[in-house]
């Protein structure tokens, strides 16, 4: 999509527009203090979102408008929606956009009386007749935005990047922990204290945590400047969630099923996502003409069997490797048969690229033998406990696809119809670039792993030894071509017919609002070709 340089000045202008307060006859106090957002674009529709801050429990009617200009002199679509206490006074509109505006930037806002929200910018996806003329299309993707871990400087950078047409958030949009848990220190000095201060469990807890995140100026600017497509990961529920429980859920926190219902209700209230009748089924697909299809998957919750616990295979620090390997290779669900069949039906050779947005690292990742040479004090506890796996060519993180190898092979079979597959991953906090092969050593596609927005990554664990750790992972894992555990940021994909240019954008720090945007690290992914050596 051709760059529109005028957007930079528009975004700056939008950021300066006041959020006006209005006192109504029944003494309600109305504002749009959590900003606006758009998401789940198709070639004809777009979800528009806002939230009303008010003090009464009365139902309220909010008007919305879409215009071709920022001053709203040319309003092309408008309407009104009701919201109430049960919806947490959030509003979502599935707006139909006139065909002549397909793929073009449009402006939207909400209003109540004389009070207007800030202005948002969004666009539908180009349809096939328009997409055939596209030189390129730009996607940014990111994950793991832990509020108390630092400032959302990467969100600010995405919002400022005029080249980006669409943003994918691959999960861990919020974190569930109470204060001073993860990370354990530093949030007070930065003024990034969580609300509520306890771990979130109830519906009100989850709502308050989303409200905290959406009070952040940089996140508000990101949502107001670009459409976003989202999926959840574990921390939108609680750490290491699976279908019937989670590592970070205990009996004294009530029924896990109730916690899940609370988390899902709050998620759909606060995120610009189109709703199905069954809200637990979050997978869905999008397409930009014949250039690419995008399938957003759920590898986290609905059909996932419980992760294997490596500690149960330990005896005096030694892993029972034979039993561990046997249990890994048993049939265990991650995507589930329903979602696997959906993927098989959707993947098509009609698209130059098939892109999969999902949560987990899919390529094998083995613990480097190098860790055996470290002093005990140089290793985090999670590696100390499994040091016997270092150099053993056995998975060490069973929460990732490595813990579900048969499900991975089934997924690879189900995407065989793709012309060229690219699997995006979040969750790990580090950056990764890998070739993917099935058990028969057939090339499947490319894995691109996103860094965290703020969450701690490998440099926070290994400090000055991070470079040798990165190199050791590449040497230990034949399919891994590049890794970066030093920096936090996001990934930009410039998609064209013959290649995808991948740029890793990093910021110099997340511990201060004063930062520098680092020089991007760039790679080229050729159509249906494995990556060559990147060293």
Q: Which of 72, 104, 124 is where one domain is finished?
A: 124
In this structure, the answer to whether residues 160 and 119 fall within a common structural domain is no
SS (H, E, C) 101-150: HCCCCEEEEEEECCEECCCEEECCCCCHHHHCCCCCEEEEEEECCCHHHC
C-alpha–C-alpha distance, residues 466 and 486, integer Å: 7
Examine residue 532 and state whether it is found in any structural domain, yes or no: no
One domain, residues 173 and 293: yes
**pLDDT tens-digit readout, 56-85:** 778 999 999 999 999 999 999 999 999 999
At residue 133 the predicted structure's pLDDT band, cuts being 50, 70 and 90, is low
Range of the domain at 44: 1-124
Largest CA distance in the chain: 74
How open is the CA angle 63-65-67, to the nearest 5 degrees?
170
Shared domain check, 147 and 79: no
- 4: pLDDT strictly greater than 70: no
Closest CA relative to residue 502, chosen from 455, 446, 456, 454: 446
Torsion over CA: 442, 443, 444, 448 (sign): positive
- Let me know if residue 533 belongs to a domain: no
Angle between helices 217-225 and 7-16 (to 10 degrees): 130
Mean pLDDT within 448-467: 96
* Domain shared by 312 and 419, yes or no: yes
Where a domain ends, among 90, 124, 158? 124
Tell whether 38 is covered by a domain.
Answer: yes
16 has pLDDT over 60: no
CA 324 to chain centre: 31
Q: Kindly give, in sequence order, each residue whose CB lies less than 8 Å from that of residue 101, ignoring residues fewer than 6 positions away.
A: 68, 76, 124
Give the total number of structural domains in the chain: 2
Quick one: average pLDDT of 518-530?
98
In a domain, 535, yes or no: no
> Whats the size of the chain, residue-wise?
535
Summarize pLDDT for 298-316 with one digit per residue, the tens: 999 999 999 999 999 999 9
Assess whether 166 and 308 both reside in one domain. Answer: yes
Instruction: Give residue 134's pLDDT.
Output: 74
Residue 531, domain member (yes or no): no
Report pLDDT for 273. Answer: 98
**81, 150: one domain:** no
In this prediction, residue 491 has a pLDDT band, given cuts at 50, 70 and 90, of very high
pLDDT range class, residue 128, cuts 50, 70, 90: confident
Structure-token pair, residue 438 = 């099935």
Domain harbouring 56, CATH code:
2.60.40.380
115 contacts: CB under 8 Å, gap ≥ 6? 20, 21, 22, 30, 31, 32
Same domain, 90 and 183: no
Which H/E stretch holds residue 41? none
Domain end residue (candidates: 124, 141, 175): 124
User: Does residue 534 lie in a domain region?
Assistant: no
Q: What is the DSSP letter of 200?
A: P
Residue 21 clears pLDDT 70, i.e. is over it: no
**Domain containing 178 — which CATH number?**
3.60.21.70
Summarised one tens digit per residue, pLDDT across range 310-337 is 999 999 999 999 999 999 999 999 999 9
Judge if 21 and 112 occupy the same domain: yes
Looking at the fold, whether 97 and 190 belong to one and the same domain comes out as no
One domain for residues 468 and 332: yes
208 and 163 within one domain: yes
Closest alpha carbon to 144 in 300, 334, 359:
359
Helix (H, G, I), strand (E, B) or coil at 475: helix
Q: Are residues 294 and 393 in the same domain?
A: yes
In a domain, residue 116? The reply is yes
The predicted pLDDT at position 2 comes to 44
The answer as to whether 466 is a domain residue is yes
Question: What pLDDT is stored for residue 135 in this prediction?
Answer: 80
pLDDT band at 24 (very low <50, low <70, confident <90, very high): very low
């Amino acid at each position: 999509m051709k760059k529109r340089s005028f957007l930079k000045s528009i975004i700056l202008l939008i950021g300066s527009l006041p959020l006006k307060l209005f006192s109504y006859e029944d003494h309600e106090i109305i504002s749009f203090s959590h900003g606006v957002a758009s998401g789940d674009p198709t070639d004809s529709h777009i979800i528009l979102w806002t939230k009303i801050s008010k003090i009464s429990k009365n139902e309220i009617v909010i008007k919305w408008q879409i215009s071709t200009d920022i001053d709203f002199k040319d309003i092309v679509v408008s309407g009104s929606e009701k919201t109430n206490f049960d919806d947490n006074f959030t509003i979502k509109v599935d707006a139909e956009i006139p065909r002549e505006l397909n793929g073009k930037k449009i402006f939207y806002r909400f209003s109540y009386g004389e009070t207007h929200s800030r202005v948002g910018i969004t666009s539908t996806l180009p349809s096939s007749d328009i997409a055939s003329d596209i030189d390129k299309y730009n996607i940014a993707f990111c994950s793991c935005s832990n509020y108390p871990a630092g400032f959302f400087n990467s969100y600010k950078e995405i919002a400022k990047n005029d080249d980006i047409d669409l943003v994918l958030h691959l999960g861990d949009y919020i974190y569930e922990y109470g204060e001073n848990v993860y990370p354990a220190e530093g949030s007070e000095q930065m003024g990034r204290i969580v609300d509520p201060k306890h771990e979130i469990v109830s519906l009100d807890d989850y709502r308050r945590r989303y409200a905290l995140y959406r009070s952040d100026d940089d996140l508000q600017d990101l949502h107001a400047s670009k459409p976003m497509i989202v999926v959840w990961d574990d921390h939108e529920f609680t750490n290491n969630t699976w279908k019937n429980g989670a590592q970070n859920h205990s009996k004294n926190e009530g029924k896990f099923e109730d916690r899940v219902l609370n988390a899902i209700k709050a998620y759909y209230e606060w995120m610009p996502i189109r709703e199905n009748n069954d809200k637990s089924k979050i997978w869905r697909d999008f397409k930009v003409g014949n250039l690419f299809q995008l399938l957003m998957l759920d590898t986290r919750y609905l059909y996932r069997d419980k992760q294997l616990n490596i500690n149960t295979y330990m005896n005096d620090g030694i892993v029972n490797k034979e039993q561990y390997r046997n249990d890994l290779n048993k049939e265990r669900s991650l995507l589930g048969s329903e979602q696997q069949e959906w993927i098989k039906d959707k993947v098509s050779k009609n698209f130059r690229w098939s892109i999969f947005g999902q949560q987990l690292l899919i390529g094998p990742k083995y613990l480097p033998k190098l860790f055996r040479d470290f002093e005990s004090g140089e290793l985090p506890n999670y590696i100390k406990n499994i040091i016997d796996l270092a150099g053993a060519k056995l998975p060490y993180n069973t929460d990732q696809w490595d813990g579900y190898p048969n499900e991975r092979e089934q997924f690879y079979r189900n995407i065989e119809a793709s012309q060229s597959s690219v699997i995006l991953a979040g969750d790990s906090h580090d950056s990764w670039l890998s070739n993917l092969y099935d058990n028969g050593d057939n090339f499947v596609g490319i894995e691109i792993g996103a860094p965290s927005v703020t969450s701690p990554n490998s440099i926070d664990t290994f400090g000055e030894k991070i470079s040798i750790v990165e190199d050791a992972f590449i040497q230990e894992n034949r399919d891994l071509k590049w890794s970066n555990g030093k920096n936090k940021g996001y990934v930009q994909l410039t998609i064209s017919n013959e290649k995808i240019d991948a740029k890793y954008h990093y910021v110099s720090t997340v511990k201060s609002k004063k930062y520098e945007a680092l020089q991007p690290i760039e790679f080229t992914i050729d159509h249906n070709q494995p990556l060559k050596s990147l060293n």
